[in-house]
Amino acid sequence: MYSCINDNKKNTYVSLQILRAFAFLGVFASHSLIADDAFSRWGVAIFFILSGFLNSLHDVCMDKTVCVKNSFCYALNKVKKIYKLHVVMTFIALFLWIISNWEVYRANLAKEVSLSMLKIATNLLLISDFLPSNGRIGLVFSEYNIVSWYLSASLFFYLLTPILIKITKQIKKPILISIISYIFTIIIDVFIVSHLSLDVAFWYIYECPLFRLSDYLIGIQLGYLYASYSGMSRIRHIDRSQEQMQGSEYTNSWILLIIGIVGSLALLGLGQKADSPVRWFINSGFYFTIPAVLLIISLTMLNEQIQSAMDNGGFLHYIAILGDLSACAYLIHVPVINLVHGVYKRFGTVNVYVWGLISLALTIVLSAWAKEKMDTHKNK
């Protein structure tokens, strides 16, 4: 089924950068209170599945021995790209937290300093999301920069990536593995929600790296499937003209893209209904898995068309730039939102849209600066 496509590693999917931008904007809108939490759930689902997809697509030719050392090297190589920014934003978030809670912090100085040191340790070691972030454990296993739980979960996924890719290539049943993973996770989520309160269940069905692994695993299956499809398409081009093949592929891709967009919007709309019996399901991330998969695969197949449309600049060009900044912006935006709110409220009533616009502009500027510094350091 699969033939190794070496040049997948060289491809830059601008279309997926656009999807990244919209995923980030969904998360940002939620955190700045402009939009419902459902938008954040959609964005995170996109990020997890897309991460698995690209890692599988680019590393499916990886033929290294699967061992603990190689897994750690793989994970650390992935995380190090953004780790320094994570450290900086963690300490900034700590500083802002202390300022906001100074009276309580000062009244229990010895206790709070001890807890802060332990919590900083779990944050910097990227293990802050390995235990439930509630109760007494939550005083240490939680995040100062709340979005860094995503990086903690990603480290867990990256550690497993070499073995997951190897198993995927051995079994060669990406659709079957995805369906089983999807159904199994839904069953677990229903069981957890049925036996725990929604507040307690939230960590397990949304943040817990073990249960969110299914999103990433489905992304890996999708990457393997696309790599296999690409190889088979090249073989078929021997018997059919490229124009004929591309015509049918593009038509199908647009159909999948439309279904993915409509499906996402429909589910986001359903997510606004607080009384909906499936409202809790938003928190699992699997609420958006199917439309996320359709968006990723269709945009990947339409990459050349979208790239051509962007050659002359325009709106999509700037959206793609935001997508390129999204990794930095993701870590930066919450402390910025909190800081802007803290300053803004001193001048009067906070308008949520003005607050959001100022925070977004500042986030983009700081993200561009941070990425430039990271790229400069990388090239030295």
Single pTM value for the model: 0.90
Query: Does pLDDT of 177 surpass 90?
Result: yes
How high is the mean pLDDT of the chain? 86
The mean per-residue pLDDT over the stretch 282-303 comes to 86
* Token pair in block for residue 16: 């997926």
Half-sphere exposure of residue 160: CA atoms within 13 angstroms, side-chain side: 18
List of residues 6+ apart from 90 with CB closer than 8 A: 120, 123, 124, 143, 144, 145, 148
Element (H, E) at 316: helix 315-344
- Vertex 283: Cα angle to 34 and 331 (nearest 5): 55
Distance CA 198, CA 283 (A): 10
Q: How far is CA 265 from CA 26, 205, 252, 254, 298, in A?
A: 12, 22, 20, 16, 16
d(CA 108, CA 100): 15
CA distance 295 to 310: 19
- Over residues 112-135, the pLDDT tens digits come to 899 999 999 999 999 998 988 877
Q: Using one digit for the tens of pLDDT, what is the confidence trace for 225-263?
A: 998 876 545 444 444 444 554 667 778 899 999 999 999
Over the stretch 42-85, which tens digit does the pLDDT of each residue have? 999 999 999 999 999 988 877 777 889 999 999 999 999 899 99
Domain-wise residue ranges, the chain? 6-379
According to the model, what pLDDT value does residue 33 have?
A: 93
Rounded to whole angstroms, the Cα distance separating 228 from 8 reads 11
Q: What is the structure's pLDDT at 377?
A: 67
Place of tokens 């809670």: 101
